[in-house]
């Protein structure tokens, strides 16, 4: 799913702000890696990254921060695992370009106009081949970019190497410690002679860091783009929430998750789905995608939901609606897709059957109470990357997985262009939805891939419907499949997100 985290107490970033007394050049202990909230197993990978990554086989334990690195052109403004992997990473990026036709079409159409000329974008997202396509698109449109990872385990080291070889200032590697995580973000932001004027932030940690350490930077920042979890009254610049755009909801959260849930579970556990009993917590777009995929594979699927409309949709789609405690003893897999906190708590974990697989599909790591499992009587075994076994005294074990996660990037590029080029005063210090016209444009960029041909309205038809021939074709409140209570934009303020708390079901 594509997150800005609140500075308020109710939705503060899950990675706690680093102790300002701590010096960045101190080496943390290996235990520190387990303390980082996003590093614990239910929340730390991206479905685009292979579980058997090329970079996982590296035996070099030297911290990238202790290395002197330069690319073939002598540039050393980056910090990655191994610059020698650049060729391999370049091949991955080229493959990703074939799967991102909309972003490539945008690059081709707009690179002559350079709509981001003068933009200085500081980014914090998963460093994957797909992110690399976004970064290179932003560069082609005129922007300068500096980038860090929003997650300590999701970085594809070979992709980071390819970006560094291409001249990008990238500070990320797979398996960062908590100290490394904040150090990389600081290296992106705190650089002499360069100050960002746009932020692209997945999760809000970058925005949080600037807010705490360099608040004066917001005087020159024109806007923030990404998934918004911002609380009202805390923004000092406009922000555009791409997470709730229709095409984001449908493509990433529904269609992509429908595939990534199976792919992520297969890569990490090799589990067979036929006949397995699965409970999916939350029936928003992510939950719908997961349930559809699991049902197609022959799984017996249960759904938990708090929203009666989403609950009714689950029932009409043929799923049994239950409370988690009603099925927790019998299910083989538990998948959280709510964005809420404490969905699966220690009481639930204690009652699970031996071998039960537990994973989180959302970006937030608060859904599964993993902290409650850090007790002396339980034993943790790391069996492979992003897979832990938690063993009870009687020998029962559960399989705890890293999150299965997807992203879309065309919205981010368009939102950056919109905010960067907007006349002064168009956007206030508030959170905005992606304009409907822009949402439709994203969808239109994908259509040539399918050799699809849109029907065009005649002048008479457009007049009859009261529409512009070129769109938008639906009102802002139209959601194509209504599945959330209170999640539609307010008619009185059609472009502004009506509420900033996480809604039930991603």
In whole angstroms, what is the distance from residue 244 CA to residue 241 CA? 6
Under 8 Å between Cβ of 465 and 246? no
Pairing of strands 397-401, 387-391: antiparallel
In whole angstroms, what is the distance from residue 142 CA to residue 215 CA? 26
Residue showing tokens 């991102």: 100
Residues contacting residue 242 through CB under 8 Å, at least 6 positions apart: 2, 225, 226, 227, 248, 411, 412, 415, 434
Which phi and psi angles does 223 have, rounded to 5°? 180, 165
| Residue 237 CA: distances (Å) to CA of 6, 221, 424 | 14, 7, 12
Mind spelling out the 3-state secondary structure of 379-392? EEEEEECCEEEEEC
In whole angstroms, what is the distance from residue 348 CA to residue 346 CA? 5
In whole angstroms, what is the distance from residue 371 CA to residue 141 CA? 44
In whole angstroms, what is the distance from residue 368 CA to residue 186 CA? 29
Pairing of strands 320-321, 333-336: unpaired
Binding residues for substrate: 128, 202, 227, 248, 252
Residue showing tokens 């200085």: 120
Angle CA 25–387–204, to nearest 5: 50
Structure letter (DSSP) for residue 222:
-
Binding residues for NAD(+): 284-289, 305
Which phi and psi angles does 282 have, rounded to 5°? 105, 130
In whole angstroms, what is the distance from residue 32 CA to residue 183 CA? 14
In whole angstroms, what is the distance from residue 145 CA to residue 176 CA? 21
Structure letter (DSSP) for residue 17:
P
Binding residues: 128, 202, 227, 248, 252, 284-289, 305
């Amino acid at each position: 799913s594509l997150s800005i985290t609140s500075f308020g107490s109710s939705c503060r970033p899950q990675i706690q702000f680093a102790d300002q007394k701590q010096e960045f050049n101190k080496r943390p202990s290996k235990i520190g890696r387990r303390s980082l909230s996003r590093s614990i197993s239910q929340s730390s990978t991206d479905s685009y990254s292979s579980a058997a990554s090329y970079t996982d086989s590296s035996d070099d334990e030297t911290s990238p921060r202790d290395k002197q690195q330069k690319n073939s052109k002598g540039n050393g403004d980056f910090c990655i695992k191994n610059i020698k992997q650049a060729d391999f990473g370049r091949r991955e990026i080229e493959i990703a370009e074939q799967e991102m036709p909309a972003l490539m079409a945008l690059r081709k159409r707009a690179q002559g106009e350079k709509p981001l000329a003068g933009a200085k974008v500081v980014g914090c997202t998963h460093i994957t081949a797909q992110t690399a396509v976004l970064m290179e698109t932003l560069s082609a449109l005129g922007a300068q970019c500096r980038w860090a990872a929003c997650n300590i385990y999701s970085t594809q080291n070979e992709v980071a190497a390819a970006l560094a070889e291409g001249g990008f200032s990238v500070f990320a590697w797979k398996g960062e410690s908590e100290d490394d995580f904040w150090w990389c973000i600081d290296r992106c932001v705190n650089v002499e002679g360069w100050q960002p004027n746009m932020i692209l932030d997945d999760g809000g940690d970058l925005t949080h860091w600037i807010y705490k350490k360099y608040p004066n930077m917001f005087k020159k920042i024109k806007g923030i783009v990404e998934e918004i979890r911002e609380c009202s009254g805390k923004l000092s610049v406009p922000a555009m929430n791409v997470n709730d755009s229709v095409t984001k909801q449908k493509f990433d959260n529904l269609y992509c998750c429908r595939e990534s849930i199976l792919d992520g579970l297969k890569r990490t556990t090799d589990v067979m789905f036929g006949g397995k009993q699965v409970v999916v917590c939350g029936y928003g777009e992510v939950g719908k995608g997961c349930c559809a995929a699991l049902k197609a594979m022959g799984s017996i699927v249960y759904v938990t939901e708090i929203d009666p409309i989403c609950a009714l949709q689950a029932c009409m789609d043929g799923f049994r609606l239950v409370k988690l405690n009603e099925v927790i003893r019998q299910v083989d897999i538990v998948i959280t897709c709510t964005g809420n906190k404490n969905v699966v708590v220690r009481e639930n974990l204690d009652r699970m059957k031996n071998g039960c697989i537990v994973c989180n599909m959302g970006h937030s790591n608060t859904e599964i109470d993993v902290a409650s499992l850090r007790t002396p009587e339980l034993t943790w075994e790391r069996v492979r990357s992003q897979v832990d076994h938690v063993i009870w005294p009687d020998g029962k074990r559960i399989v705890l997985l890293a999150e299965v996660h997807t992203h879309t990037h065309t919205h981010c590029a368009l939102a950056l262009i919109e905010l960067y080029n907007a006349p002064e005063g168009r956007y206030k210090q508030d959170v905005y939805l992606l304009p409907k016209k822009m949402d439709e444009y994203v969808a239109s960029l994908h259509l040539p891939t399918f050799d699809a041909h849109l029907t065009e309205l005649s002048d008479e038809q457009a007049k009859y419907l009261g529409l512009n021939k070129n769109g938008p074709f639906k009102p802002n409140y139209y959601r194509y499949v209504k599945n959330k209570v209170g999640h539609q934009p307010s008619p009185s303020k059609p472009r502004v997100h009506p509420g900033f708390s996480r809604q039930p079901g991603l």
